[in-house]
Amino acid sequence: MIETLADFIREFNKIKAMGWILTHRPGPTGIGKTVEDLLGIPENNFNEPDFGEYELKSARTDSRSMLTIFTLAPKPAKSNTKLRLKYGYSSSAYDNDEKVLHSTLNAVKFTPIVDTRYKLKIKLKDKRIYIISDTEAEDIYWDRESIRKAFNKKYKNKFVYVKADSRGSGKNEEFKYLSAEAVSGFDYDSLISLLEQGKIYVDLRIGQYHSGKNKGKTHDHGTGFRIRERDQPLLFKNRETIV
């Protein structure tokens, strides 16, 4: 079991020298499971360090997979209900005509909302992140402090990000581990810059309750700020390539 960053560097260099390694688990989590096993790190589903002060993250160099940075409903209260009723659409998943709103937005271009005439995007202004339509600006937003708190709640540890090439698929996927970067310190300005570049997306996942006393009412499945896994280290102030 490794305990320090120096331990990690020593053992990771041994893993690099192994070349292509068959996955220890098929599927998206195989890359992390394999390197954790080789480092002697037991599987951990809690938000706590994997070794020393650090939590270990892994990404395929060619991956386009998205990770949820955090989930956070916009302000003011009941904004999701307003969005759903104004911009939503009926869904065959429900046995009524009440609307839902599932869409992935960015700050670069407007996203058409299915089965409606509406288009939505993200706009950054006055230290707030707004949702706007192509016809009007809505007073629906996230403020800087709320974002900072949401991020720090989920990313309270320091991190080591491992990158690897991959080939094959499923149980036959193989990894060649290449590099590792130690990161810490959430950088709000970097988040804003990545939003402006269209590298961070906002997933609206606003449904309705299927049954019970709240049937037909808004059910927020978590409005998610998402980023490609390979870009996640860019969110931190302190970044150092260690291997």
Task: State how far the Cα of 2 lies from the Cα of 11, in Å rounded to an integer.
Answer: 8
Q: What values do phi and psi take at 22, rounded to 5?
A: -70, 135
Which residues make beta-bridge pairs with 69?
A: none
> pTM score, two decimals?
0.82
Give the number of other Cβ atoms within 10 Å of residue 86's Cβ.
13
pLDDT at 215 over 80: no
DSSP state of 74: P
pLDDT at position 220, please? 79
Confidence band for 222, pLDDT divided at 50, 70 and 90: confident
> Architecture of domain 68-148+189-229 in CATH?
2-Layer Sandwich (3.30)
Could you confirm whether domain 5-62+155-184+231-241 is CATH 3.40.50.150?
no
Which is nearest to 39 in space by CA: 60, 16, 22?
A: 16
pLDDT digits (tens, 9 = 90+) for 94-138: 666 678 899 999 999 999 998 899 999 999 988 899 999 998 888
CA distances for 43 relative to 33, 65, 204, angstroms: 8, 22, 31
% of the chain exceeding 70 in pLDDT: 96
On the question of a common fold for 5-62+155-184+231-241 and 68-148+189-229, the answer reads: no
Higher pLDDT, 212 or 55: 55
Q: Where are the domains of the chain?
A: 5-62+155-184+231-241, 68-148+189-229
Q: Which two tokens stand for residue 128?
A: 């707030």
